[in-house]
Amino acid sequence: MYRPGLTDLEAVLAIGRRGSFRAAALDLGMSTTALSNAIGKLEKELGVRLFNRTTRSVSLTDAGRRFVDQVGPPLQDIREAMNGVRAQQAIPSGTIRINTFATAAREILSPLVLEFLRRHPQVHVDIVTEGRLVDIVAEGFDLGIRSGDLVPSDMIAVPLGQPQRHAVVGSPGYFERHDRPRVPPDLVGHRCIRVRLPNGALYRWQFRKGGQSAQIDVDGPITLDEASLARIAVLEGTGLGYFIEANVRADIEAGRLVRVLEDWTPPLAPLALYYPGRRNPSAALKAFIGLAREHGIKAAL
């Protein structure tokens, strides 16, 4: 007689979370065929379809959503109980999943993540970068890294270093053809690289100096949603760009890009690593958080 196990229940949650059998199978370390067969057996046992399937998409049925809502919390308790046992292990192991955005990933990869892997070679770190702010618990992540002012209030935060800044830059060739802007409103007369946010809205460039602030809806020949692409366009002289300073610091120092309006870009909140206050974190997670605290203290000195 078929009896659904924890793996079958985890499979339902993974598919519901990822919206894809293939992505869920990769998360669970099994083949797509095996996953599909497991779901088929479970649906047959329950006598109801949990997913609507087409050749292009997968979504939960109403019954599937109710099932996930009821099964999810008990499974989380079981995971925490199992993690409590694993936490007693002497050597950190397993996988740590981190959600962040690309700039932050570049900032912490070498000094934090790669250093952690050198110290704990039995741990695998899985980093997912995306612009949108996600619920790390609902999306199955252990940790998040964002600007400190974006960390949800119910999370424990660990500062990771110095405050960040924005930078407005253009190529030397661009400024041979155009005057440098002196105040933010001057940007209206410039060709600028427009930035599209993850929600589809166009980003207004933010400035502040003393008690004054400005939001400029810039115009220009191209709209992009990835900083690395915008950097290429600016280096080619297409227009001015607005970046997190870390993304173009080397270009400024090498003279490939020229910075303007620096006095209008004050420091922003520093990066922070954050996580839920779980009762029994794994040994790997405790070790990573401990190293993050060391990193944050050193970076602040």
In a domain, 78, yes or no: no
What percentage of the chain reaches a pLDDT higher than 90?
A: 46
**What's the distance, Cα to Cα, between the start and end of the chain in Å?**
63
| Collapsed DSSP state (helix, strand, coil) of residue 146 | strand
Q: Are residues 36 and 106 in the same domain?
A: no
What percentage of the chain reaches a pLDDT higher than 70?
A: 94
Q: Are residues 46 and 172 in the same domain?
A: no
In a domain, 81, yes or no: no
In a domain, 85, yes or no: no
What's the chain's average pLDDT?
88
Over residues 173-189, the pLDDT tens digits come to: 999 999 999 999 999 98
Which among 42, 73, 104 is the end of a domain? 73
Q: Which domain holds residue 36?
A: 6-73
Domain count, the chain: 3
At CA 149, angle to CA 146 and CA 151, rounded to 5?
A: 55
Q: How confident is the model at residue 28, as a pLDDT?
A: 86
Q: How far apart are CA 132 and CA 150, in angstroms?
A: 11
User: Position 247: which residue type?
Assistant: N
In a domain, 227, yes or no: yes
Q: CB under 8 Å to 22, separation ≥6 — which residues?
A: 32
301: confidence class by pLDDT, cuts 50, 70, 90: very low
In a domain, 88, yes or no: no
The neighbouring-strand residues paired with 146 are: 272
Q: Are residues 141 and 181 in the same domain?
A: no
> Is the model's pLDDT at 278 over the cut of 70?
no
291: confidence class by pLDDT, cuts 50, 70, 90: very high
Q: How confident is the model at residue 106, as a pLDDT?
A: 86
Q: Are residues 190 and 65 in the same domain?
A: no
Helix (H) or strand (E) holding 105: helix 102-108
Q: Are residues 234 and 249 in the same domain?
A: yes
| Global pTM value | 0.62
Q: Are residues 211 and 290 in the same domain?
A: no
Q: Are residues 154 and 170 in the same domain?
A: no
Q: Which carries the bigger pLDDT value, residue 235 or residue 280?
A: 235
What CATH number is given to the structural domain containing 274? 3.40.190.10
